[in-house]
Chain A
Amino acid sequence: MSDAVTPKPAVTPYVNKRPVSQRIVDHLKREWQIYLMLAPTVIWLLLFLYKPMYGLQIAFKDYSIFRGVAASPWIGFEHFETLFASEQFLRALKNTIYISMMSLIIGFPVPILLALMFNEILNQTFKKTAQTIVYLPHFISSVIIAGIVITAFSPSAGIVNTILSWLDVDPIYFLTKPEWFRPIFIGTTIWQEAGFQSIVFIAAISGVSPTLYESAVVDGASRWQMMWKITVPSIMPTIIIMLIIRIGNMLEVSFEMIILLYQPATYETADVVNTFIYRQGLQSGQYDFAAAAGLFNAVIAFVLVMTANSISKRYSRTSLW
């Protein structure tokens, strides 16, 4: 109970006299099963994430597929200069930031709210059914999701325009209108992923000790008070971790979905860095230029994760590492 500082007893440090190499061999002999289990992931990481990093250097080179990566001449930051002089890139960057910020602000709370709502449902059958329905879109291919969205918003047969016509509104060509692209895109990704993302929060909620609620009930708390004063604070560490991850992936705007939904008519609001890279790199063959854009994207993402993590560490004791 007292905070008095007792002097630490002098501890003779344990000295291992055997050489390091010998100890490593012993360790491997003892724990090889664990390393075996780890191996597939490590190999995957090396092969698909680390090895391609070698190719990153073409962002600083005048790359040609005929000369190869190593033989192409260095040109320094020339591609980056072109990049920032490119109207299209700047537009893509602006769109990326805008779309990802909006997705984060609107999309991030949705799974949390869903989880909280599921937690309040008492009827188990209804709860299970509702959960299955909201998880479902996650398991449907993006192509089909996009197909559903395109059909729903189609000016001739789409459900949205049909409803509008009942209200005497003329059909709107939603997917060709730049001002409609972002709401539709953000709505679609929320519909697709929010249910599935809520699983993490549902798991976190089910980890909260039931006696906390019982104690609150005896203290006189209403369900609403328990939600805000117990459930939400209890899952706050999970929320923060998920937020850090989300911020880290922020610039990874759901690339397939954009490709599937955008058209040249909506590039103005829809084109993001990833789709820009795709068009420049794969469609126009400017690999070095596209690599520069990709690298830039990655650096920004890295800075974002680091910042989010250290802010969280400082203010909430929770962090990813």
Chain B
Amino acid sequence: MSGVKLESIVKAYGAVQVVHGIDLEVKEKEFVVLVGPSGCGKSTTLRMVAGLEEISDGTLTIDGKVVNRIAPKDRDVAMVFQNYALYPHLDVAENIAFGLRIRKESKENIEKAIKDVAGILGLENYLERRPADLSGGQRQRVAMGRAIVRRPKVFLFDEPLSNLDAKLRTQMRAEIKRLHQRLGVTSIYVTHDQVEAMTLADRIVVMNDGRIEQVGSPMELFLNPVNAFVAGFLGAPPMNQIQAVISGGDAAPIAEFAGQQFTLPPLPGLQNAVGRKVIVGIRPEYATPQTKAVEGSVSCTLELVETLGSEALLHTTIGGEPFVIRTETLGNMDQLNAVNGFTADPALVKVFDAETGVALSGQLRVA
């Protein structure tokens, strides 16, 4: 079982601790994505798994074996780096073969492996070129080739697509996904791009400041973020967060903000929180724009309409705070320009404690 298990993994540089005890179990064949803002310790964690950084404390298990003190080469992992780390003096074939040559594999095996990998990645026509003569996407593919040629137990990716332009990134993302489905190798993938995380991951690990905020499937995290940080991190544009105070309504708790009221779902977590300062989280796509006041609507001031074709982003403000609504355009621009409020299904609204950021509302069903 070639899973990876991190138990209370700590990394400290001298007196500075940058990873504060991470627990994570990556199952065999699973594709786990680490996301988080810059500097939160994603790369450091990945490099500890690779063996490029010493583990300050905790236990790292790969394939059922504790590898804390085992050299990278004996961990049987392969890593793809952000800048590809291709050897400029070697051609594509030799770059791919590097790991095998180091391991003194037989000539025939190497030849065959190069051919297989080149076939998988569509590099057959470039085998004799040097990295300098390749496009970004081709280099990226060579880097992948170098990782898969060794048939390791675990793949590690550190922002492998971040040097590519948007279109190529989308294309390579799909290729990585296909490759994973085809090879079924346990993978840990680091990115700070939440779209990459959502599309690639079996499970996403959201990290912040050296800690794990939440682990779960993409939809779990999207629908049921455990705190305001995760809610704000996943989804584009991010979830709107409105500062509010809860007051007790007759049937259901009510959030009050900027002189307005919004009825929240009648959940025990909220009913017990009367008088508490909270953050009301409403995803831009769950707010329905309105052109006149209706039952339960919240009024807002439209500032800007961004049209993306079939969809539009309405940038509005509520009591001076920004609030974004995402809606279909259906070609009706006049109606969009007349928006002065929105309604939202209380069941889709998240409420977080303003101080701790912890979610107070209950779980949504996972789609």
* B88→A234 contact, CB < 8 A: yes
Q: How far is the CA of A279 from the CA of B88 in the complex (A)?
A: 51
Interface residues of A in 171-212 (CB under 8 A from B): 209, 211-212
Q: Which residues of B contact A230 (CB under 8 A)?
A: 87
* B98→A218 contact, CB < 8 A: no
Known: A211-B85, A214-B81, A221-B102. 19 other contacts (CB 8 A): A1-B135, A1-B138, A211-B83, A212-B85, A214-B50, A215-B146, A218-B73, A219-B78, A219-B98, A219-B146, A220-B73, A220-B74, A220-B103, A221-B73, A225-B102, A229-B102, A230-B87, A233-B89, A234-B89
Q: How far is the CA of A236 from the CA of B89 in the complex (A)?
A: 9
* B137→A1 contact, CB < 8 A: yes
Q: How far is the CA of A236 from the CA of B79 in the complex (A)?
A: 26
A216 is an interface residue with CB less than 8 A from chain B: yes
Q: Which residues of A contact B85 (CB under 8 A)?
A: 209, 211-212, 214-215
Interface residues of A in 1-15 (CB under 8 A from B): 1, 3
* B98→A233 contact, CB < 8 A: no
Q: How far is the CA of A1 from the CA of B87 in the complex (A)?
A: 21
* B83→A209 contact, CB < 8 A: yes
B150 is an interface residue with CB less than 8 A from chain A: yes
Q: Which residues of A contact B99 (CB under 8 A)?
A: 219-220
Least Cβ distance of A272 to chain B in Å?
A: 38
Least Cβ distance of B240 to chain A in Å?
A: 40
Number of interface residues of A (CB under 8 A): 19
* B77→A218 contact, CB < 8 A: yes
* A218→B87 contact, CB < 8 A: no
B333 is an interface residue with CB less than 8 A from chain A: no
Q: How far is the CA of A225 from the CA of B150 in the complex (A)?
A: 18
A71 is an interface residue with CB less than 8 A from chain B: no
Q: How far is the CA of A215 from the CA of B52 in the complex (A)?
A: 9
* B52→A214 contact, CB < 8 A: yes
B72 is an interface residue with CB less than 8 A from chain A: yes
Residue-wise, chain B 76-103 has the 8 Å CB interface mask toward A (1 for contact) of 0111010101011110000000110011
Q: Which residues of B contact A236 (CB under 8 A)?
A: 89
Q: Which residues of A contact B103 (CB under 8 A)?
A: 220
Q: How far is the CA of A212 from the CA of B85 in the complex (A)?
A: 5
A217 is an interface residue with CB less than 8 A from chain B: yes
* A220→B89 contact, CB < 8 A: no
Residue-wise, chain B 170-208 has the 8 Å CB interface mask toward A (1 for contact) of 000000000000000000000000000000000000000
- Select one of A3, A212, A218, A234 contacting B78, CB under 8 A: A218
B51 is an interface residue with CB less than 8 A from chain A: yes
Knowing A209-B83, A211-B83, A230-B87, say if A217 contacts B52 (CB, 8 Å): yes
- Nearest CB in chain A to that of B143: its residue: A215
Q: Provide 20 A-B residue pairs closer than 8 Å at the C-beta atoms, listed in order of the A residue.
A: A1-B135, A1-B137, A214-B52, A215-B79, A215-B81, A215-B85, A215-B146, A218-B52, A218-B73, A218-B78, A218-B79, A219-B102, A219-B150, A220-B102, A220-B103, A225-B102, A229-B98, A229-B102, A233-B87, A234-B89
Q: Which residues of B contact A229 (CB under 8 A)?
A: 87, 98, 102
Q: Which residues of B contact A212 (CB under 8 A)?
A: 85, 87
Q: How far is the CA of A211 from the CA of B85 in the complex (A)?
A: 6
- Nearest CB in chain A to that of B152: its residue: A218
Residue-wise, chain A 232-254 has the 8 Å CB interface mask toward B (1 for contact) of 01101000000000000000000
Q: How far is the CA of A236 from the CA of B51 in the complex (A)?
A: 29
- Select one of A211, A225, A234 contacting B81, CB under 8 A: A211
Q: How far is the CA of A216 from the CA of B146 in the complex (A)?
A: 11
Knowing A209-B83, A211-B81, say if A218 contacts B72 (CB, 8 Å): yes
Least Cβ distance of B159 to chain A in Å?
A: 12
Q: Which residues of B contact A215 (CB under 8 A)?
A: 79, 81, 85, 146
Q: How far is the CA of A234 from the CA of B131 in the complex (A)?
A: 13
Q: Which residues of B contact A219 (CB under 8 A)?
A: 73, 78, 98-99, 102, 146, 150
Least Cβ distance of A49 to chain B in Å?
A: 37
Residue-wise, chain A 1-31 has the 8 Å CB interface mask toward B (1 for contact) of 1010000000000000000000000000000
Q: Which residues of A contact B135 (CB under 8 A)?
A: 1
Q: How far is the CA of A229 from the CA of B72 in the complex (A)?
A: 18
Interface residues of B in 44-90 (CB under 8 A from A): 50-52, 72-74, 77-79, 81, 83, 85, 87-90
* A217→B73 contact, CB < 8 A: yes
Least Cβ distance of B169 to chain A in Å?
A: 15
Q: How far is the CA of A285 from the CA of B73 in the complex (A)?
A: 70
Residue-wise, chain B 121-154 has the 8 Å CB interface mask toward A (1 for contact) of 0000100000000010110000000100010000
Interface residues of A in 273-293 (CB under 8 A from B): none
Q: How far is the CA of A233 from the CA of B94 in the complex (A)?
A: 13
Q: How far is the CA of A26 from the CA of B52 in the complex (A)?
A: 56
Q: How far is the CA of A236 from the CA of B87 in the complex (A)?
A: 13
* A216→B77 contact, CB < 8 A: no
Q: Which residues of B contact A214 (CB under 8 A)?
A: 50, 52, 79, 81, 85
Q: How far is the CA of A225 from the CA of B138 in the complex (A)?
A: 26
Q: How far is the CA of A218 from the CA of B147 in the complex (A)?
A: 10
Q: How far is the CA of A230 from the CA of B81 in the complex (A)?
A: 17
Q: How far is the CA of A218 from the CA of B89 in the complex (A)?
A: 19
Q: Which residues of B contact A218 (CB under 8 A)?
A: 50-52, 72-73, 77-79
Q: Which residues of A contact B73 (CB under 8 A)?
A: 217-221
Q: How far is the CA of A230 from the CA of B103 in the complex (A)?
A: 16
Least Cβ distance of A276 to chain B in Å?
A: 43
Q: How far is the CA of A234 from the CA of B83 in the complex (A)?
A: 17
**Listed residue (B74, B77, B87, B137) with the most chain A CB atoms within 10 angstroms of its CB:** B87
